Amino acid sequence: MSAESDTEPGDVATPSGDAASENGPPIPDPESVDDEGYVIGSGRSGIVRRIDHDDFDPVGTLVLIAIYMVIVGAMWIFMYFVEFLGGDLTVIG
């Protein structure tokens, strides 16, 4: 995937001097990054693509948390209203 496809032109990390000085570590040439894997410990270290705060879109995490909350809510309702309130000999005084 091209780095330019999802970001504003200004956001694309380039090995230019300006970007490097603003963003800390030196940025490798995007051309040198390939998808064929690499030896463990020799991974890419530079910023390849910069995205805005809200462009990060972990929709899978959102769905997992939604499922988790539905389970917790359903278990609470079952435990309290069915198992506890529906139980025998509830203390009333």
Partner 1 sequence: MEIHRYEKIWLAGALLLIVGFIATVSYGAVGAGIAMVDDEGGQVDPASLDDHPRFGEPGTYQSGENEYDVYVVARQFLFEPGTSEPIRVPAHSTVTFHVTSPDVIHGFEVVGTNANTMAIPGQVATITVEFGEPTEYGLLCHEYCGSAHHAMEGKIEVVPQSEWNESMVVN
Contact residues for partner 1, defined by CB under 8 A: 53-54, 56, 58, 61-62, 65-66, 69, 72-73, 76-77, 80-81, 84-85, 87-93
Least distance CB 50 / partner 1 (angstroms)? 15
- Other beta carbons less than 10 A from residue 7's beta carbon: 16
Q: Which residues contact 28 (CB under 8 A, 6 or more apart)?
A: 15, 44, 45, 46, 48
Least distance CB 86 / partner 1 (angstroms)? 10
Q: Which is nearer to partner 1, 38 or 80 (CB)?
A: 80
Contact 12, 3 (CB under 8 A): yes
